[in-house]
Amino acid sequence: MYLWVNPTIMTFELTEEQRLIRDAARDFAQQELKPGVIERDEKQQFPAEQVKKLGELGFLGMMTSPDYNGAGLDTISYVLVMEELSKIDASASVVVSVNNSLVCYGLEKFGSSQQKEKYLKPLAEGSKIGAFCLSEPEAGSDATSQHTTAEDKGDHYLLNGTKNWITNGNSASTYLVMAQTHPDLGHKGINALIIEKGMDGFTIGPKENKLGIRGSDTHSLQFSDVKVPKENRIGEDGFGFKFAMKTLEGGRIGIAAQALGIASGAFELALKYAKERQTFGKPIAEHQAIQFKLADMHTQIEAARLLCLKAAWLKDQGKPYAEAAAIAKLFASDVAMKVTVEAVQIHGGYGFVKEYHVERLMRDAKITQIYEGTSEIQRMVISRSILSL
C-alpha cells in the first residue's frame, strides 16, 4: 500500500492508524458484507443492516469533523476503506461514498451553522443517510441544464421537477437538490436546496432495475410544488452550480477508490483460482498466458491505486486536486472494467457462475465509468486543466 504522508517528503508507508482503519474495513467486508452479497444482488436488496453497522463504526462520516459527530479522518483513510468495502460489495460502498464525499462534505464545506447542526450531525454519525440530486432525465450529467426549478416566493422556494439515478433515493432522509431559480442567468442561476423526506409534494419513484450495484437504492425523485424554506438554501443565491462542481471533485476520489476496489477484488479472486485450477497436469497459474494476464492486471491496479492516493493526498494537503481526481476516476474505472473482464476469462466457464463472484464484480465495474461524470466528462476536465481553458 502506498501514500504520501508528509507535505514535503514522499514516502510509501501507511501510518499505524491508517493500517488499523484499512484492516477494520477489510474485516467488516469479509464478515458483514460477504455473507448474503450474492442474494442481495439477485433480489436488488438494499444492505440496510450492513449500512447501519457502517454508520455505527463511523464509516459514513469519516472525513467530517468531530465537531459535527464525524470521525475527522483523512482522505487517504477514506480511499483505503472504499477499496476494501468495494472488493466485496460495491452496493454498500457507494452509500459510504455518497454520504461522505457528496453529502457530508458539501454540508460541512458550504453549509450554514444551522444546517450543519440540523442535518450534518445525524448524517456524519451515521444515524441518517443523505442523497445528492443532480442528474435529470433530460440533462444527464450536464449540470448547467437544470430543468428542475426552484421558484423564489420570498421566504421560501417552490420546487418542481424530476431527478434521475439518485443513489440512496428511498433510504435517505436528507436530499441535496440542484434546481434552477433564474433561467436567464444560466448556470449562475442554479441553487442547492436541502430537502427532507416526507415534505409535501415530494414523491419517490420505483427502484431502478440495474445491470450492476443492484443492491444500491437507485430511484427517480419527483417534486411537485414542494415548499422549501429559504434557510434550506446552501450558500448565496446562485451558488448551486459551483456547489455541485466543487462537491463532485471529491466525489470522484471516492468513485475512483470504488473502481480500484472492484478491480482489486476481482484480481484476488482470479489469482486464487489460477493457483487452484489445474489443466494439463498443473495449475493454470503456471501457464505463461495466464501469468501475463495476471501481471498486466496487477500492474494496472497498482497504477490506479497510486493515482487514487495522489488525489487523496492533494486534497488532504489543501492543494488543488480536481485534475488529479478526474485522472484517478478515469483511469481506475477503465482498469475496473479491464481487470474484471480478465478475471471472468481466467475463471473460464465458472466466471459465468454467480457463486464465483467475478461476474457480479464485472457488472458492478461498468457503473464506475458512468456516475460522478462519464469517462468522457473526466477527459473534458483533464483537457481543460492541461490546456488552462
Cell numbers 470504488 correspond to what residue?
258
> What is each CA distance from 100 to 129, 130, 253, 297, in whole angstroms?
10, 9, 11, 29
Bridge partners (DSSP) listed for residue 219: 166, 207
If DSSP codes are grouped into helix, strand and coil, which group holds residue 157?
strand
- Distance from C-alpha of 237 to C-alpha of 52, rounded to nearest angstrom: 35
CA 291 → CA 20, 268, 300, 326, distances in Å? 32, 14, 14, 31
* 108: its cell numbers: 460541512
CA 67 – CA 107 distance, rounded (Å) = 13
Closest CA to 207 of 169, 180, 240, 236: 169
Alpha helices in the chain (DSSP H): 16-28, 37-43, 48-56, 75-88, 90-97, 105-110, 113-115, 121-124, 240-276, 288-316, 322-347, 358-367, 375-386
Catalytic residue list contains 372: yes
Query: What number of other Cβ atoms are within 10 A of residue 39's Cβ?
Result: 11
Q: Can you list the alpha helix ranges (DSSP code H) found in 57-190?
A: 75-88, 90-97, 105-110, 113-115, 121-124
Q: Which of 32, 125, 342, 372 is catalytic?
A: 372
Cα(106)–Cα(357) distance, integer angstroms: 34
CA angle 85, 90, 92 (to 5 degrees): 75
Residues annotated as catalytic are 372
